Structure formats: C-alpha cells, structure tokens
Amino acid sequence: MAMARSVGTLASLALLPKTDLKGLVERLMGEFTVVGPVPKGKEYVFSPIQSAGDLALDYGTTILPPKKVLHQPFEVLFSFHETEGICEAREPERKQILFGLHACDVYAIQILDRAYTLEYPDPYYGIKRQNTLIIGLNCHQVGPTCFCQSMGTGPGMRQGYDLLLTDLGDQYLVEVGSSSGEALAAALQLFPAPRVMLVEKEKRLDEVRRKFHKRLQTTGLHELLEDNFRHPVWEQLMHQCLACGSCTMVCPTCFCYNVVDKLDLGLKSGKRQREWDSCMLLEYAQVALGHNFRKDRDARIKQRVYHKLVYYEPQFSTIGCVGCGRCISACVKKIDFTETIAILRGE
Amino acid sequence: MINPFQPELARIVDIKKETYDTTTYTFAFAKPTVQAEFGFLPGQFNMITLFGIGEAPISISSDPDERDTFQHTIRHVGNLTNALNRLQIGDTVGIRGAYGTGWPMDLLTGKNVLIIAGGIGLAPLRPVITQIFQRREDFDRVEVLYGARSPGDMLFTDQYEIWAQRLGVKLTVDVVPRGEQWLHQVGVVTKLLAVMDSVPENTVALTCGPEIMMKFVVRDLLSMGFEPEQIYVSLERRMSCGVKKCGKCQIGPKFTCRDGPVFAYAELLTLPELELGGVGR
Ligand SMILES: Cc1cc2nc3c(=O)[nH]c(=O)nc-3n(C[C@H](O)[C@H](O)[C@H](O)COP(=O)(O)OP(=O)(O)OC[C@H]3O[C@@H](n4cnc5c(N)ncnc54)[C@H](O)[C@@H]3O)c2cc1C
Ligand code: SF4
Ligand code: SF4
Ligand code: FES
C-alpha cells in the first residue's frame, strides 16, 4: 500500500480501492481471526478465512447467520471432576473480525447483545463479543426472501459496525462507526474521502431499495397479532409445518438453548454443555411426568411468530425479526410468515 | 466476569423422608462465605445440579431466617430427582440461586392471607407460613388449605398442629385408602373453599400446585368475589438456566424464571396464551 496516506485525525470517511482489499484483509489476518462469507457448494457460509481470496463479498446471504461464532451451536460451560470440582473450560479467545456482514446480521447481533448482556450477563457470549470487531458491508443486491427494508433494519446499515464498507464500483467507501473502528482505520492507513461520497453511497442504496419485492407491513402489527391469536390461519399452518425447527436454527436473533451434561467414559468427570434449542420442537416446553405446555403444533408456531414480531419488544425494547429471510428459504414447506401477516391483514 | 451458570458446591446435612416419593433435604454450601451470603425470599427457587445428570429448578422450602442451612423438598419424578434419592448425608450437589420473584410478602402485612396448596405445591409456600407464624400479629386472618392425593401423600405432617396454634389449617385428600383413618375432608382442594372461613374482603390468596388444580382454585375464587389482583400463583415451566438466557420458560413476553415463578393472576390475564383458564385472546 505504497500510495496510502495516513489518516491522522480520522475524517470518519475513507476510500479503499478494490485492488487494496486483499492487502488490507491480509494485514487484518495478522492480528485477528477473520470470519467472513465463503462459498460452500451453491451457497455461502461464514467461516474463518485462510486467505483473502476465500472471501466472497458478492454473497447474497449465508446458510447460518454470524451468530454462530458468538452464541455457538454447542458450547461447553464448564467441566467437573469428582475430586477437583468445577473447572471453567474457557480458553483465551483470540480477537476476531466479522468481515462483510450485511445490515440485517449486524442488527441481529445488537438484538442478541440485549438478550445476552443486560440482566445476568452471559460470560461466554460477553467475552467473545468483547473480542469481536464488525466490518459491515452494505448490500448491493436483494435476495428473493429479503425483507429487511420492511423491518427498518436495512438495506443501509446505520449502527452496530466498527467499519462499514459500501461498494462504489472500483472502490469501497469506508465509514467509521466506533472508536475501535477508528483505531483500525488509522492503523490501516486508508485514504480520506470527501463527504460528497456519501451522496454516491445513498444513490447506490436507493437502487437497492427499489428492488425489494417482499414486504411485511409493520404498522399496527402488535395489535393485529394480539387480535388474531385465535385466527384459523394458525391451524392451517399447523397442518403444513413439520415442526422441524429449521426456521429457528437459521434465525440470527433466536437465542434459546438446552443444557446437557456429558459424562466421560470413566464416569468420574464430564462436562456441562449447551446446544441451540428451538421452540418449534416438541420437547422444548416439556416438563417432568410428560406434561407439555406447548404440545400442539399451532401453539409452537405461534410462539415463534409472536416472539419474533411481538414479545421481543417488551422483553428487550427491540424488534425480534430483522427480515433476513433465512427462515423462509430454510423451510421445506416454504412457510413464509410475511404471507401469514398479509392473510391476517386480509390482503 | 462472574459466571451465573456455575453452581457452588453444597453438602447434604440432613435428609427427611416426607412421603414414599418426596424427601426434604437440608443443605449448607461447602464454602462458609457462600452460605453466609446466601439469602432468599419465600417463593424463590434454586437450580440444583447433580454433576453428570443435569440441573433442575427447585423451590426453597425452609424459612429464610434460618441462615446456616436451607431446605428443598423434592418429589422424585424423573432422572435428576430420582438420582437425588440415592444420595446420603455428607454427599455434595451443585446449587446456584436464589432466582425468581417471591410471594408478595410486603403486600400481606395487615391483610388476611389465604394459602391454597396442592401436593408438592406446599413446599414453596412453607416459608410464607413459617414467616407468618413468627410475625403473626402483623397479619389478620390467616388460613391454610392443603390437599393431596391420599393421607400418605401429605407433606410436613408434623407441622399442622403447630401451625394450627396460630392460624387456620384445613386439610383434604382425594381418596382415603380402605382401612386408613382420616379425620379431615375428602375431595379435591376446591372443596375446602366451600368450608373455609376466609372471605374476599382485604384478603390476598396465594396458590401453588398442579396447573389444573390452580386453574379450578382461581376459577372458584373469582366466582366467590376475589379480584384477579388479589390472587397470586406460582407457575412451573421448563427451565434450563434460571437467569433469562435459555428462553425455555417463556410465557408470552414473560420469563417465568425472572418475572415469575410467582405471578399476580391479573398479570397472567394480559398474556395471549391461555394460562390457568385466563381469557387469552
Ligand atoms: C420454579 C420451579 C420450582 C419447582 N419447585 C419444585 C419443588 O420445590 N419440588 C419439586 O419436587 N419439584 C419442583 N419443581 C419441579 C422440578 O423442577 C421437576 O420435577 C424436575 O425438573 C424434574 O427433573 P427430573 O430430571 O427428575 O425429571 P425428568 O422428567 O427426567 O426431566 C426433567 C426435564 O428434563 C426434560 N428432559 C428429560 N430428558 C429429556 C430428553 N431426553 N429430551 C428432552 N428433554 C428431556 C423433561 O422434559 C423435563 O423438563 C419446580 C419447578 C419449577 C419450574
Ligand atoms: S424470523 Fe426469519 S426473517 Fe426474521 S430474523 Fe429470523 S430468520 Fe430472519
Ligand atoms: S422462543 Fe423460539 S422464536 Fe423465540 S428465540 Fe427461542 S427458538 Fe427463537
Ligand atoms: S429458565 Fe432459562 S430463560 Fe428462564
């Protein structure tokens, strides 16, 4: 990066020629584990990258959201031993960068922050989160199941990032969103950019905004759902839904988990582990003696939809769905709750 | 960062068999400092760990003023609770807590208190009874209605006569096995509502038991003229964390582990799910 000038006092706006991206990512990899979108078959997944070339920044969406590196599908809470007692299994975490996240996924991380770090902060999530920087990437395309625009979470990213990239053709506009982002930008010696580049950015985003065809009308949504708890649509969905839990597994804001103890072979030691759980599964609300508080499938379907669209608000003062569309594309039966809402609205 | 998921070791210092399937365990935390700092409100619960088996939410059944030890009264119904049955005095378990809301003790002062329990549901109410017993003059009429399946299923049987010295105690069982003597009522717990001395005026009702029992208790109390604001219930839900993280215990926007397990019935009426025969939507 011979041409790069240092951005001493940061103008919070910089330009990054695309030809410099590789070098930048490689410098980041020296200090951080860089997790970004990489191709897997015909789809994409977030994965730690081995080289800058692994990144597929033109990705639409990923199978699982980046949540999986902060709230892991399986996580050991501690190990226990007959004589030594409880040992915390936590390893020192390497600093990581989540690279190329879209607006919906960044918003979802902010929702998880509320669920995991407010009351009784979760140390496993908290430490990983503290060690994580987010480099966002504004979307330049709209997937067939995307409806972030309706939820007010995208396509333009407004918060939650340390650095934000917007594709302007042969260069990226880089915006700084935090003091860590500012330090990062300074260390990377980016070109300062004139503020008029923001106009260029908005122009690009406007093109994206025009491309949405899926929408979920959110005005009066709480009232609509509260008035329609007994609507026949739930029973119809019950007959389609397989209650497989795929929709919650791929959701960037779902936080539920189950806890299991695993004994080692000698039966003298073992570990306590948590694993993602889903309110769509029969066992989720089951207690001793076989009693189940959500035995019926329609009750479970409603739990998911109402939790996402209504209950997050009183619980965490935020919406619960960021409109990433993953639950729609993951559903074998193609159940799409934007359609359910349209039915309730009589559309 | 403190870890809310990590239990402290606690030693079993006493075991008392209550019935054929229920046992009261007296615990003390292994570290004296942990025991000294441990306090709780009547109605709160702990998460009890048997390492290698798992964790279960269990109400604290002893009086909060006893500071050297605390008790849990546990019905052996499944993996963890059956495994507990095999432990002996001196064995250790993991315990963390205390969690959840307690019974509204502040609200009870100067009021009539009506306590309605079914089966194991008497366990989380015993701290309320012992607290009232010790500060009897702070309350007006106090009555305990308790029902179980059979005389052999009744908990804390040696306590009733003591309690009866200062408060009303009425008992019932669903069935009396042939040949057994039973001097109290026969029938479900709601039968006691018909013969109790309590009236709605200036009374707070606290109830805990099987969900179906509480449903009928609430229904009958309402028809007798109690307002939803006067009735408190303690709910059971699946719990994998106790600290508002695992999501399992949710009822509408409420986390039973944190916003409950004790709820004002009026609060449950705001929920969409049909709780305890509430209106729902
Ligand atoms: C706030 C609160 C207070 C309570 N207080 C008391 C009390 O004072 N005394 C008392 O006796 N009880 C109390 N309970 C009930 C007590 O928690 C349960 O009886 C206890 O959890 C049963 O545990 P178990 O392992 O013995 O039963 P199990 O039936 O073996 O398992 C318990 C839980 O694990 C689940 N589970 C087990 N195996 C599986 C599997 N393979 N897959 C999926 N799920 C599985 C069950 O669905 C159930 O929810 C209370 C419950 C709550 C919520
Ligand atoms: S509910 Fe569906 S669309 Fe909304 S955030 Fe979750 S997976 Fe994405
Ligand atoms: S209750 Fe269901 S929808 Fe809500 S976070 Fe848990 S798994 Fe997701
Ligand atoms: S028990 Fe885990 S959230 Fe309530």
Indicate whether B88 and B124 sit together in one domain.
no
Q: What is the pLDDT of residue A89?
A: 66
Q: Most A CBs within 10 Å: which of B76, B238, B259, as the mutation test of the A interface?
A: B238
What is the spatial order of strands in the sheet that A163-167 belongs to? A43-48, A33-40, A96-101, A132-137, A163-167, A171-176, A13-17, A191-192
Q: Is the CB of A303 under 6 A from ligand 3?
A: yes
Closest chain A residue to B271 measured between Cα atoms? A226
pLDDT at B152 over 70: yes
Total tally of structural domains belonging to chain B? 2
Identify the weakest region by mean pLDDT among A236-240, A294-298, B89-93, B133-137: A294-298
Indicate whether B215 and B183 sit together in one domain.
yes
CA A193 to chain centre: 29
Neighbouring residues of B241: CB distance < 8 A, sequence distance ≥ 6: A257, A259, B5, B47, B248, B257
Q: Is the CB of A248 under 6 A from ligand 3?
A: yes
Q: What is the pLDDT of residue B275?
A: 64
Task: Give domain status of residue B262, yes or no.
Answer: no
Q: Is the CB of A246 under 6 A from ligand 3?
A: no
pLDDT at B133 over 80: yes
Record the tokens describing residue B127, joined without a space.
């701290």
Indicate whether B109 and B93 sit together in one domain.
no
Burial group, residue A305, by CB count within 10 angstroms (0-12, 13-18, 19+): buried
Domain containing B57 equals 8-99
Inter-chain touch B247–A279, beta carbons under 8 Å: yes
Task: Give domain status of residue B279, yes or no.
Answer: no
Closest CA to B207 of B101, B140, B273, B113: B113
**Hey, how many other C-beta atoms are within 10 angstroms of the C-beta on B96?**
20
Indicate whether B73 and B116 sit together in one domain.
no
pLDDT tens-digit map of A243-284: 999 999 999 999 999 999 999 888 789 999 999 999 999 999
Inter-chain touch B77–A289, beta carbons under 8 Å: yes
Q: What is the H or E stretch that residue B99 is in?
A: strand B92-99
What is the average per-residue pLDDT within B97-117?
97
Where among B68, B99, B130 does a domain terminate? B99
φ/ψ of residue B81, rounded to 5: -70, -30
Within 13 Å of residue B84, how many CA atoms lie on the same side as its CB?
33
Q: Is the CB of B78 under 6 A from ligand 1?
A: yes
Query: Does B264 lie at the interface with A, CB-CB under 8 angstroms?
Result: no
Q: What is the pLDDT of residue B276?
A: 61
Helix (H, G, I), strand (E, B) or coil at A236: helix
Indicate whether B95 and B169 sit together in one domain.
no
Task: Please state the atom number of ligand 3 nearest to the C-alpha of residue A304.
Answer: 3
Residue with CA closest to ligand 2 atom 2? A327
* Domain residue extents for chain A: 13-209, 221-344
pLDDT at B157 over 90: yes
Q: What is the pLDDT of residue A188?
A: 86
- pLDDT of chain A along its 347 residues, tens only? 333 333 444 458 999 999 999 999 999 999 999 999 999 999 999 999 999 999 999 999 999 999 999 999 999 999 998 777 888 766 667 899 999 999 999 999 999 999 999 999 999 999 999 999 999 999 999 999 999 999 999 999 999 999 999 999 999 999 999 999 999 998 888 878 999 999 999 999 999 999 999 999 999 999 999 999 999 999 999 999 999 999 999 999 999 999 999 998 887 899 999 999 999 999 999 888 888 889 888 889 999 999 999 999 999 999 999 999 999 999 999 999 999 999 999 98
Q: Which of A280, A308, A316 to mutate to test the pocket of ligand 2 (most atoms within 8 A of CB)?
A: A308
Identify all chain B residues contacting A272, using CB atoms and an 8 Å cutoff: 5, 49, 51, 55
Task: Give domain status of residue B221, yes or no.
Answer: yes
CA A129 to chain centre: 13
Burial group, residue B184, by CB count within 10 angstroms (0-12, 13-18, 19+): middle
Inter-chain touch B237–A257, beta carbons under 8 Å: no
Q: How far is B98 from chain A (nearest CA, A)?
A: 13
Rg of chain A on CA atoms, in Å: 22
Task: Give domain status of residue B191, yes or no.
Answer: yes
Ligand number with the minimum distance to the CA of B78: 1
Dist. CA B147–CA A284, nearest whole Å: 30
pLDDT at B278 over 60: no
B6, B78, B251 member nearest A86 (Cβ): B6
Task: Give domain status of residue B258, yes or no.
Answer: no
Inter-chain touch B244–A120, beta carbons under 8 Å: yes
| Confidence tier at B1 by pLDDT (50, 70, 90) | low
Within 13 Å of residue A166, how many CA atoms lie on the same side as its CB?
23
Indicate whether B110 and B223 sit together in one domain.
yes
Dist. CA A318–CA A152, nearest whole Å: 11
Residue B104 · residue B266 · CB < 8 Å: no
Indicate whether B208 and B172 sit together in one domain.
yes
What is the average per-residue pLDDT within B239-251?
96
Indicate whether B223 and B131 sit together in one domain.
yes
